Every structure is written in C-alpha cells, then in structure tokens.
Structure 1
Amino acid sequence: MPRIVLSPQEPFSLDQTLGCGQVFRWNRFPDGSWIGVVGDRVIRCRQKGSVLTFNGADETFIRHYFSLDLDLPTILASIDVDPFIQTAIEQCRGLRLVRQPAWE
C-alpha cells in the first residue's frame, strides 16, 4: 500500500479528522483503518504514528483531500489568540479540514 511519512511539522490525526463529524461517508473498522467514498473513489486509510497508508487514490489526491499541503502550524499560530482557542488547538491536535466535493 502507498504511504506518506508525516514529519513532526505536519501534525495529522486520521481519527480526529474523520471522526469529528465533518464527513459522513467514512467508517472506522476495528483494525483502525477507515474506508470511505470520495467522489467516485473508494479509499482505505490507516495511520500508525507518523505513517499514513492508503489505497484507492494517489498521494497527490490524499495530500489535497486531507489538507496535508497546508502549513497547519502557521495557520494555528495565527489564530491562537486567547485561552479558549489555545485549549481547542491542544485538544484537537492534528485535526484537519477535508476538502470534500461540495455535494458531499
């Protein structure tokens, strides 16, 4: 299976991202993998530490869909302006907004 090795500068949590309620066409399985439909693709993903494995799409698609091409630390630093936001950032470390098709 293809994989992406995430650096510490790329905080990402597959479980938080897909389990937070922003998507409805993904299901988590007991082995920790997620299977979902994005457009006409059926994608399977799994994260173990800093390694994200996937099939059903190429790396460019996965990076774009999970917003891994954005500089999350810089974005978070720009909004970390009060204790409430700081707490949210700490509790949701690695959560990313997905770029799903509009009709989904």
Structure 2
Amino acid sequence: MDRALKLGFDGFNAASSANIPEQSEPGEAAGLMVVNGKVDQGSSANKGMRLEVSLADYSDGLIEGVYDVVYDGGPNGIFRRKAGTIHVVGTATSDYGVFNVDVSL
C-alpha cells in the first residue's frame, strides 16, 4: 500500500492536469505495480485523490521470512486493507505551491 501511495504522489507531482500520469515500479521479488488516477483541481484545502492500481504477478518476497504473497489482480482486482494501518508523511508539489501531507489511512 505504501508503494502505491508513493507512486500516486509521484504521479501527482508530475501531473500537468487533474489526470495522474502512469507510474510504475517492479516488486522486490517479482511483477510490476502500475498506478494512475485523478485528483481534484482548484484552490480548496481538501482534495480527493482516486488511484487505480494494477498488480501483475506482483510480490515483495517473503513476509516474516515465511509467507510469499503474490498479487495478480490486473486492472480489475480488488484490494482491501485495515483502516488506520497506513501513515503517509511528505509533501505534494503543484503549480499552486508545496503542500504538507500527514495522513493516516
């Protein structure tokens, strides 16, 4: 999840419109994660970011030295996570300035 958010913000920083351009990174062990999406435009303090994540035979390798989890959802897969388990801190840059990001998801 943290890699998907990183790629989403990388795309946001590279965007010239509300569309987030495709960003991708290989998994630590195998496969590819591809992220793109859209973000709300305008000058309001609250923005919505909608990311689309595609995982093709994606794996970061062994978890706790035992479990090897491989995601192969393609563009129509469903990914669920437990609320409150992700904390994102950093900055997002646009034509309107640099904005601090501190979000628990």
TM exceeds 0.5? no
TM-score by length of 2: 0.30
Give the structure with the higher percent helix: 1
The one of the two structures with greater contact order (alpha-carbon pairs below 8 A, sep at least 6) is: 1
Query: Quick check: which has more Rg, 1 or 2?
Result: 2
TM-score by length of 1: 0.30
Give the structure with the higher percent strand: 2
